[in-house]
Amino acid sequence: MKAELEALQVEALEAIQTTGDLNTLEEHRVNFLGRKGRVTDILRGVSQLSVEERPLMGQAANAVKVVICEALDARKAELTVVAEAAQAESEAVDLSLPGRTPRKGHMHVINQVTDEILQIFGDLGFQTATGPDIETEYYNFDCLNTPKEHPARDSHDTFFVKPGTVLRTHTSPVQMRVMEKFQPPVAVVIPGRVYRVDYDATHSPMFYQFEGLLVDKGITFADLRGTLMHFIHRMFGKDIEVRFRPHFFPFTEPSAEVDILWKAKDRHTGEMKSQWLEILGCGMVHPEVFKHAGYDYEQYNGFAFGMGVDRIAMVKHGINSIHHLYENDVRFLEQF
Amino acid sequence: MKISLHWLKNYIDLDLTVEELAHEMTMLGLEIEAIERPGDEITGVYIGEILEINPHPDADKIVVCKTNVGGDEPVQICCGAKNMKVGDRVPTAIVGATLPGGFEIARRKMRGVESQGMMCAASELGLDGDSEGLLILDDTYEIGADAKPLLGLDDVIMEIEVTPNRGDWASMIGVARELAARFNKALHIPDVSFVESAPAIDEVTSVTVEDDARCPRYMGRLLRNVKVGPSPQWLSRYLVAAGQRPINNIVDITNFVLLETGHPLHAFDFDKLKESRVVVRTATKGESMETLDGEKRTLKKSMLVIADATTPQCIAGVMGGTLSETSDDTVTIFLESAVFDPISVRKTSRALKLISESSQRFQRGADPEMAAYALDRAAALMQELAGAEIAEGVIDHYPSPVEARVVTLNYSRTADLLGVEIPHEEQVKHLESLGFIVTTQDENSVTVSVPLRRNDVSMEADLIEEVGRLHGFNNIPVTIPHIAGTERIYAPVENRLRAFRRFLVGLGLYEAYSWTFSNETLVKNAGLDEAYLNMVKLENPLSEKQATMRSSLIPNLLASAAHNLNRGTAGLAIFELGPTYLADEEQETGASQQNKLAIVLSGPITTKHWSRNQHEQDIFDLKGYVEAIANYFDTEFKFEAEDYPTFQPGQSATIKKRKHTLGFFGKVRQSLLKNWELNQDVYILEMELDSLVTHATPTKGFEAIPGFPAANRDLAVVVEANAPVNELIDTISRSGGNLLKSVEVFDIYTGKPIESGKKSVAFNLIFQSEERTLTEKDTQKSFDKILKQLENKHTATLR
């Protein structure tokens, strides 16, 4: 039996060493060590032996089993490496080829900027409000302290639909629509299309505005400054210089315009130049406007502000003509 | 308005750099639109005196001059001008000088004769004036002096925007007054003195004002024996700096005083006035007159005119007429200084489409006190510069003198509104510096009388603005308000639309953003029906192309598709989401607004790729987007094949949610493509969104994830070639029993071995139970039932 074991070991080791693939190796394992394998058979036969022989032969058989086992493992490791290498070679790819890129959609830059502005004011607690593009003259002008023949109407060249009905020239009518419906505190931001009879290199008859209104007890011009500084710093960077300068709007008192000191590369010379750019108008809500809204001027203060989203987008992205915004040229759309 | 610094310095002593001044003005609300330095580039120009003019030996059109520019020797200059004579003083650029545009003067030969400089015409120095001849100066210009300051070429012109509320800023004195307040400086208003002589004005003329409401004050003076001629240099220079063209001393003085004081004047040639009198009245029907700009104006009954006994001579506050225009022959002048109602002037100016320096100022409200000063200031200048004899007395029709407004400021309201504590005495100081006069004052408040020029100030908030403005807006602190929480959602639809837009972008679509204008032709060119022609029309469109508001997004998107496809883009997938408008008499505005979505697809949108074929988009790509949209809103759409003029017959469908039609989609009809200069197939969709976004999509309930595996079975049947597949799917779904979870079409086949006129449709059926793993036997039962129904209803046969 001992000789048989030795011969088996020699046979097994040789078979293992000469095996070239993992499947055959597995067959060898089954053949020698499997449930019905030859080593297993011998081990099973040990119980038939005499009490003296049993431990000796048991040990010997186990030793052969261990040797074969180790040989199988070692060979398996070798063959695995070989097999992987072979597979890798057969599957070789040229990773310098372009991938299959999923198509990326593009939101229009006006809406991207609007979403960003809404996010900033949303974080402060402002909610979105909207109103119709086709508006009554009352909401667009009269209730905003801009009666007929007010010279401030000159800067609002107005499209008329019929007497008393206009395409809104600003988003401010929505302020009044909100105030008529809701009591303070009111904190809204209003995005929307607006229209003016003005079409040249720098004007589009339709453009996009963004308006804000906060009415509550104890609201001050300092709050207006803080709110807008916060917005500007988030929109354009925290180091940007900002200035408030007095201006006139019929529906706010005091009124101001806000400029930022904008640094941009000169298109021709490539030099960095800084320049004050007007980006928004604002002020404390005029008592006349509160009167129309039915709010108590003694009890509430409010501020309002408005800006051209087109202008913000153009400044931020360096877009050189407002007309790109409304042409829908895909070479423009896919830039943003 | 253009502000010349030279001119401004007559009224205030300023010791600031131009940049500092511009900053301070900006911070006061005087927005600087431009700063010009017209003579910036000019160097080396001196006052020269022509000593000799000799013919050029070799050229007829050139003369050779000797000009003394103050040096040891006169310089020799060849010159092509004709208007000079020996002894004239002219600005002379010497060798090494530079002129506007960087033009450098060098020693050079003109037809063999050396020229050592150039004598200049006004235009060559960037001044307004004749470009033909030299600028001839009078004897007051010192020979050899630097011409730059003398000609005002070192002036700085600031163009300011005057806001509509501050008519008083549209003047040199107004701007100076503001700066004086800012820097606590004295304001120098020029003294006015002149000599009056007989006869008295009311012996010679009379003024009748028929409409006191529209003409609350009318003043006049009579000036006799005026010598009309050119204005002195300083006066012309100021006018040129302000952007005006000098005409003659009389006209120039009225313009100068207008710019200086902000108050418009008008000088009539008195001898042209019939019956030598003035009537302020409304025009009568059919009256007309020629205004100074040479236009014949038809007047309306609502317009106020200044007439003589019979004829309108001037449109009040807007523009004078040619009949009584001052000319070189004018001897006697009636000088008008009046106050007209702003609204009346504005209406007239707008009705005539005639905007003048005068109308712009009157429509902001004129200052009745300034009217008196401006009249005397102009009369004095006319005496000084045109030798006018001023008749004794002044006509002053001012039946109800305007009373100054009185406004109270509670000091504490300043802090309430501005958010900064400004000491009481400082608040008062700011107001006083601007000319507000304190009438009463206590520890809580101050009451001031408002200068008449400040018709923008009528209440407390106005005074607070003045205090804040002089305090400096940038000196007000920066605080973040606490916004009280509210459960209000003001615009749920807008919020949902914005989220939906992000979803569409996530599908790989590009967003378009078009003007919302349209016109009837566009609607018809898109094959849209009558309902879309019920558009909102504009009374004053930019052009006929933008005559209406859009009733559909389709025309704009077809135009956008053409724009891109004709510029080298092979294919596109674009959407637009936005409002459309229809005329709607039920609405106060006569219009209703509806949110719609349109998608346009054409050609391939994938680039050519080494690993796959380029996919040409077709109608099933478009339908796929619609299905994704249904999925987004957690709803189901029904598609009903229906022909429509926009689409190829048989290639369009309506989109329905229950019984409500949301929109349609299809392949654009071939015969319409040429309307849009389209040369390839285009697929388009339009659907309304309001009914989908008005209510929030219901909250989704959780469904347990199946614990047992699904069983897959394929079923292929042969049916009539024209049998709609969705009907087969309906039959399968209905007959498949509870275990059938889904049906997908995975193959459609026609051709051999399938009999002609038939097609093979292959479905993948998924069966699943929530209780156990299904066996072949379980699914076979459903499978047989399905097949039987297909055979019965669709004469299908198992393939």
Our CA-based measurement puts residue B631 at a distance from the nearest CA of chain A, in whole angstroms, of 19
Q: Which two tokens stand for residue B184?
A: 């606590």
Compute the distance between CA of residue A131 and CA of residue A178 in angstroms, rounded to an integer. 9
**Whether the predicted pLDDT of B469 surpasses 70:** yes
Residues 90-149 of A with CB under 8 A from B: 97-98, 100, 102-108, 110-111, 115, 118, 124-130, 132-136, 149
**Whether the predicted pLDDT of B111 surpasses 70:** yes
Q: Is the dihedral of CA B585, B589, B591, B595 positive or negative?
A: negative
Do A150 and B480 make contact, defined as CB atoms within 8 angstroms?
A: no
Nearest-CB residue to A226 (from B479, B491, B515): B479
First to last CA, chain A: 83
Do B581 and A133 make contact, defined as CB atoms within 8 angstroms?
A: yes
Q: At what angle do helices B233-241 and B249-261 cross, to 10 degrees?
A: 50
Residue of A nearest to B563 (CA): A329
Position B129 scores a pLDDT of 66
Put simply, whether A75 touches B (Cβ < 8 Å) is no
Residues 299-318 of A with CB under 8 A from B: 301
Contacts of B317 in chain A (CB under 8 A): none
Rounded CA Rg of chain B: 41
Position A232 scores a pLDDT of 97
Residue-wise pLDDT tens digits, B2-15 = 999 999 999 999 99
Do B579 and A197 make contact, defined as CB atoms within 8 angstroms?
A: no
Burial class (CB in 10 A: 0-12, 13-18, 19+), A283: buried
Contacts of A138 in chain B (CB under 8 A): none
**Contact criterion met (CB below 8 Å) for A248 and B454:** no
Do A161 and B517 make contact, defined as CB atoms within 8 angstroms?
A: no
Contacts of B484 in chain A (CB under 8 A): 185, 187, 216
| Residue appearing with tokens 């400004």 | B422
| Residue appearing with tokens 């960095």 | A272
Mutate to test the interface with B, among A107, A112, A309 (most CBs of B within 10 A): A107
Residue A324, Cβ neighbours under 10 Å: how many?
A: 16
Do A223 and B164 make contact, defined as CB atoms within 8 angstroms?
A: no
Do A134 and B473 make contact, defined as CB atoms within 8 angstroms?
A: no
Our CA-based measurement puts residue B565 at a distance from the nearest CA of chain A, in whole angstroms, of 10
Do A159 and B540 make contact, defined as CB atoms within 8 angstroms?
A: yes
- Report CA-CA distances (Å) from B26 to A35, A306, B13, B19: 98, 20, 19, 10
How is residue B411 annotated by DSSP? H
**Contact criterion met (CB below 8 Å) for B414 and B464:** yes
Report the share of chain B in percent with pLDDT over 90.
Answer: 85
Residue-wise pLDDT tens digits, B79-110 = 989 899 999 999 999 999 999 888 899 998 98
Position A201 scores a pLDDT of 87
Do A225 and B477 make contact, defined as CB atoms within 8 angstroms?
A: yes
Position B484 scores a pLDDT of 83
Compute the distance between CA of residue A172 and CA of residue A192 in angstroms, rounded to an integer. 10
Residue of B nearest to A112 (CA): B502
Our CA-based measurement puts residue A151 at a distance from the nearest CA of chain B, in whole angstroms, of 6
Do B589 and A253 make contact, defined as CB atoms within 8 angstroms?
A: no
Of B616, B580, B575, B622, residue with least CA distance to B599: B575
Cis peptide preceding B312, ω within 30 of 0:
no
**Whether the predicted pLDDT of B418 surpasses 80:** yes
Please state the φ and ψ torsions of residue B726, each to the nearest 5 degrees: -65, -25
Do A205 and B546 make contact, defined as CB atoms within 8 angstroms?
A: yes
Q: How confident is the model at residue B143 (pLDDT cuts 50, 70, 90)?
A: very high
Residue-wise pLDDT tens digits, B692-725 = 999 888 888 898 888 899 999 999 999 999 999 9
Residue A196: which region, alpha, beta or left (left: phi > 0; alpha: psi -120 to 50)?
Answer: beta
Position B245 scores a pLDDT of 86
Facing residues of A264 across strands?
A273
**Whether the predicted pLDDT of B326 surpasses 90:** yes
Contacts of B609 in chain A (CB under 8 A): 98, 100
Residue type at B707?
G
- Report CA-CA distances (Å) from B531 to B87, B528, B593: 83, 8, 14
Of B275, B346, B344, B342, residue with least CA distance to B313: B275
Our CA-based measurement puts residue A110 at a distance from the nearest CA of chain B, in whole angstroms, of 8
pTM (predicted TM-score): 0.87
Residue-wise pLDDT tens digits, B744-778 = 999 999 998 899 999 999 999 999 998 899 988 88
Which of B65 and A47 is assigned the larger pLDDT? B65
Q: What is the DSSP string of B158-217?
A: EEEEPPTT-GGGSSHHHHHHHHHHHHT----PPP----EEEEEHHHH-EEEES-TTT-SE
Give, in degrees to the nearest 5, the angle at Cα B336 between B335 and B337: 125
Burial class (CB in 10 A: 0-12, 13-18, 19+), B771: exposed
Position B131 scores a pLDDT of 67
Do B515 and A214 make contact, defined as CB atoms within 8 angstroms?
A: no
Which of B39 and B158 is assigned the larger pLDDT? B158
pLDDT, mean of residues B160-173:
93
**Whether the predicted pLDDT of B485 surpasses 80:** no
pLDDT by residue, tens only, chain A of 336 residues: 778 888 888 998 999 999 988 899 999 999 988 888 888 888 888 888 888 888 888 888 888 889 999 999 999 999 999 989 999 999 999 999 999 989 999 999 999 999 999 999 999 999 999 999 999 999 999 999 998 888 778 777 899 999 999 999 999 999 999 999 999 999 999 999 999 999 998 899 999 999 999 999 999 999 999 999 999 999 999 999 999 999 999 999 999 999 999 988 877 888 888 889 999 999 999 999 999 999 999 999 999 999 999 999 999 999 999 999 999 999 999 999
Residue-wise pLDDT tens digits, B200-258 = 999 999 999 999 999 999 999 999 999 999 998 889 889 988 989 889 999 999 999 99
Residue of A nearest to B571 (CA): A330
Alpha helices, H only, B566-680? 619-632, 670-673
Compute the distance between CA of residue A272 and CA of residue A261 in angstroms, rounded to an integer. 12
Do A222 and B477 make contact, defined as CB atoms within 8 angstroms?
A: yes
Q: How confident is the model at residue B407 (pLDDT cuts 50, 70, 90)?
A: very high
Compute the distance between CA of residue A161 and CA of residue B575 in angstroms, rounded to an integer. 28
Our CA-based measurement puts residue B761 at a distance from the nearest CA of chain A, in whole angstroms, of 30
Compute the distance between CA of residue A211 and CA of residue B461 in angstroms, rounded to an integer. 22
Residue-wise pLDDT tens digits, B124-134 = 888 766 667 89
| Residue appearing with tokens 């071995």 | B753
- Report CA-CA distances (Å) from B688 to A62, B39, B523: 82, 62, 17
Reported ipTM: 0.87
Mutate to test the interface with B, among A116, A245, A332 (most CBs of B within 10 A): A245
Contacts of B584 in chain A (CB under 8 A): none
Do A328 and B574 make contact, defined as CB atoms within 8 angstroms?
A: yes
Our CA-based measurement puts residue B255 at a distance from the nearest CA of chain A, in whole angstroms, of 23
Tell me the count of A-B CB pairs closer than 8 A: 264
Report the share of chain B in percent with pLDDT over 70.
Answer: 99
Residue of A nearest to B576 (CA): A108
Contacts of B593 in chain A (CB under 8 A): 132-134
Our CA-based measurement puts residue B315 at a distance from the nearest CA of chain A, in whole angstroms, of 18
Compute the distance between CA of residue B680 and CA of residue B665 in angstroms, rounded to an integer. 17
Our CA-based measurement puts residue B605 at a distance from the nearest CA of chain A, in whole angstroms, of 8
Q: Which two tokens stand for residue B253?
A: 């003085």
Q: What is the largest CA-CA distance in chain B?
A: 130
Position B128 scores a pLDDT of 67
Contacts of B349 in chain A (CB under 8 A): none
Q: How confident is the model at residue B355 (pLDDT cuts 50, 70, 90)?
A: very high
Compute the distance between CA of residue B363 and CA of residue B344 in angstroms, rounded to an integer. 8
- The topology (CATH level 3) of A109-333 is BirA Bifunctional Protein; domain 2 (3.30.930)
Put simply, whether A294 touches B (Cβ < 8 Å) is no
Nearest-CB residue to B510 (from A106, A199, A247): A106
Compute the distance between CA of residue B652 and CA of residue A37 in angstroms, rounded to an integer. 72
Position B727 scores a pLDDT of 93
Nearest-CB residue to B504 (from A105, A154, A254): A105
Could you state, in order of their start, the residue ranges of all structural domains in chain A?
A: 2-90, 109-333
What does the mean pLDDT of chain A come to? 92
Lowest-confidence segment of B54-68, B255-269, B412-426, B588-602 by average pLDDT:
B54-68
pLDDT, mean of residues B588-613:
94
Nearest-CB residue to B564 (from A216, A230, A330): A330
Residue-wise pLDDT tens digits, B498-540 = 999 999 999 999 999 999 999 999 999 999 999 999 999 999 9
Position A257 scores a pLDDT of 96
Compute the distance between CA of residue B50 and CA of residue B84 in angstroms, rounded to an integer. 8
**Whether the predicted pLDDT of B620 surpasses 70:** yes
